[in-house]
């Protein structure tokens, strides 16, 4: 047994970890204590500064409910969500890359036919999005489920504006045809701000960072026997591609949106990785 000292702080805490603790939890607690104590020793906070840190953590938790997840937003804006995603979705070259899910996915999007629109509020110029779902050898994957969602032409998700936008506006679940093809009508997405009315917004402000995300359309693609793909397509030329507030942009996900008659068109092929 040893009493707590500044130098021996980490050992003092870890000596209380029981021998029969579940091994993975043990590994995580050991690392958490090591890095937390390392952080404190590096920055040597004053008592007031540590109080402010506790206040930030408290406010972040208090902002969370079934509609708002400030902790996920904190994880996203500190690059942690993208790091966890990268570690868990290492893919071979050629397979479509993952990116962050974000908080605005809604289960049970309306099932739609290829060629249908997802825009229920009539705002914005139409944009046709087409593509093919294939395996890593270019073989079509028929029957893949393609769940898409985005903000409307005012830059908000339907769930951010209940009673203003129609329910399930800008959402749809499509199915690839026998040749792996899918297509839907939407509007060209716009850049938008993540929520800034909570502690994460204040943190970004204090860090001298903006809260903008470059324009994107979210995708979840599922097919039996293949790894689920959670991704976005980003609009080429968007001013926020290199400073996305949540670090979600990958080069391979940037797509050209071209003028097409009175609207726009974009094409994005999806390559799924086989489950091993």
The site for ligand BEZ (CB under 6 A) is made up of: 73, 76, 100, 102-104, 194, 213, 246
**Of 65-104, which residues contact Fe ion (CB under 5 A)?**
102
Which residue's CB is nearer to ligand BEZ, number 194 or number 221?
194
Q: By beta-carbon distance, which residue lies closest to ligand BEZ?
A: 102
CB of 87 to ligand BEZ, least distance (A): 18
Closest C-alpha among 70, 80, 271, 60 to residue 180 = 271
Region of residue 79 (left: phi > 0; alpha: psi -120 to 50; beta: else)? left
Kindly report the CA angle at 251 between 207 and 273, in degrees rounded to 5?
115
**Rg value, the chain, Cα:** 22
- Total residues at interface with Fe ion (CB under 5 A): 1
- Other C-beta atoms closer than 10 Å to the C-beta of 262 total 7
Are the beta carbons of 126 and 261 closer than 8 angstroms?
A: no
Nearer to Fe ion, 145 or 216 (CB): 216
Task: Output 194 or 253, the one with its CB closest to ligand BEZ.
Answer: 194
Q: Name which of residues 97 to 136 contact Fe ion (CB under 5 A).
A: 102
How many angstroms separate the CA atoms of 72 and 111, rounded?
28
270 is in the binding site of which of ligand BEZ, Fe ion, none (Cβ under 5 to 8 A by kind)? none
CB 249 to Fe ion: min, Å: 12
Place of tokens 């996915």: 105
What residue ranges bind Fe ion (CB under 5 A)? 102
């Amino acid at each position: 047994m040893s009493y707590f000292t500044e130098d021996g702080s980490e050992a003092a805490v870890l000596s209380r970890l029981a021998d029969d603790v579940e091994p993975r939890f043990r590994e995580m607690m050991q690392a958490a204590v090591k890095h937390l104590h390392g952080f404190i020793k590096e920055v040597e906070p004053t008592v007031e500064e540590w109080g402010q840190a506790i206040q930030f953590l408290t406010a972040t938790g208090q902002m969370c409910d079934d509609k708002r997840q400030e902790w996920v937003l904190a994880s996203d804006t500190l690059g942690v969500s993208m790091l966890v995603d990268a570690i868990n979705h290492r893919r071979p070259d050629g397979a479509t890359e993952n990116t962050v899910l974000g908080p605005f996915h809604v289960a049970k999007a309306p099932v739609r036919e290829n060629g249908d629109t997802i825009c229920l509020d009539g705002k914005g110029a139409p944009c046709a999005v087409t593509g093919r779902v294939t395996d890593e050898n270019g073989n079509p994957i028929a029957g893949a489920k393609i769940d898409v969602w985005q903000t409307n032409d005012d830059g908000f998700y339907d769930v951010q504006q209940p009673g203003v936008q129609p329910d399930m506006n800008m959402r749809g679940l499509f199915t690839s045809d026998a040749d792996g093809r899918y297509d839907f009508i939407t509007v060209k997405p716009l850049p938008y701000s993540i929520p800034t009315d909570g502690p994460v917004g204040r943190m970004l402000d204090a860090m001298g960072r903006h809260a903008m995300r470059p324009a994107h359309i979210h995708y979840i693609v599922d097919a039996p026997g293949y790894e689920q793909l959670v991704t976005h397509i980003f609009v080429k030329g968007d001013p926020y591609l290199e400073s996305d507030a949540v670090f979600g942009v990958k080069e391979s996900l940037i797509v050209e949106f071209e003028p097409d008659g009175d609207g726009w068109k974009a094409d994005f092929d999806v390559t799924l990785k086989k489950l091993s």
